[in-house]
Amino acid sequence: MMNLIVDVGNSRVKAVVVCGAEVVAESVAEKYSREWFEGIIAGYDVGRAIVASTRGDGEDVAAMLRPMIPYVVVFTPSATPTPLANHYHSKETLGADRLAAAVGAAALYPTSDIMIVDFGTAITIDYVVDGAFLGGNISPGVSTRFRALHEFTARLPLCSATDDVLDYGRTTSEAIEQGVMRGVENEIRGYVEPFLREKGKKIAIFTGGDAKYFVKRIKNAIFADCEPVVYGLNRILEYNAELD
């Protein structure tokens, strides 16, 4: 029996078919539909599904899936059991993707304290220490910073992430690119370096769409080969199926 993992984010929807710990199919779209889900699971023996949504429409997605899949879990950090202790104080406002990534990272590195940096629309910096999710911090993501400079000024152009590393920009576009990229780099370095210097076994994991730019810039960070959110959601689904 296979699992369907549905991660509804701020700007995209990701659906992944998992067999054991192996991804056998995946698709990404801006919008979901019954037909889209049917196409993803066609040809696979999918018996369970989990839905996590940052948009608050998890129940709508689940209602779409239940006629196709016998066992469907809507993951909410405040109500869904997880195999990782959750010490966050306002669980009802905790993003499902943040807790799922923490569960996934803890399963991948069970003997370490972990910092998870997710470079998405927002940048989240979260901590798993002594086998528990403690919480973390949130700041604007790379693309969000570029859009803010463009939309809240009269003349600054809209720029995007770059691999170039310059001491200073020689054009306005370069100045914006380097300002944002170096600003994020220094911000994240300020979290990672003190954390890794602490006593004990520590790991910093980078994930998300823009992680590839910063794993090159910040030493000693691990780029997540498999996505911790997907891995964590699959672990949470299996855990709940065992409880039932």
Each residue's pLDDT tens digit, 81-111: 999 999 999 999 999 999 999 999 999 999 9
Q: What is the pTM of this model?
A: 0.91
51 and 156 inside one domain: no
Q: Which residues participate in catalysis according to the annotation?
A: 97
pLDDT at 225 over 80: no
Q: How many CA atoms, within 13 angstroms, populate the side-chain half-sphere of residue 159?
A: 22
pLDDT at 211 over 90: yes
**What pLDDT does 55 receive?**
84
pLDDT at 10 over 80: no
pLDDT at 220 over 90: no
What would the mean pLDDT of 21-35 be, rounded to a whole number? 93
Describe the strand order of the beta sheet including 22-29 as a list of residue ranges: 22-29, 13-19, 2-8, 46-53, 71-74
What would the mean pLDDT of 224-242 be, rounded to a whole number? 92
Q: Tell whether 84 is covered by a domain.
A: no
Q: Tell whether 238 is covered by a domain.
A: no
Instruction: Count structural domains, the chain.
Output: 2
74, 92, 117 - which closes a domain:
74
Q: Tell whether 29 is covered by a domain.
A: yes
187 and 134 inside one domain: yes
What would the mean pLDDT of 19-38 be, rounded to a whole number? 93
Q: How confident is the model at residue 244 (pLDDT cuts 50, 70, 90)?
A: confident
112 and 58 inside one domain: no
**189 is in which domain, residue-wise?**
108-223
CATH number at residue 67: 3.30.420.40
- Average pLDDT of every residue of the chain: 94
Please list, in sequence order, all residues whose beta carbon lies within 8 angstroms of the beta carbon of residue 99, skipping any fewer than 6 positions away.
Answer: 77, 82, 84, 86, 88, 133, 232
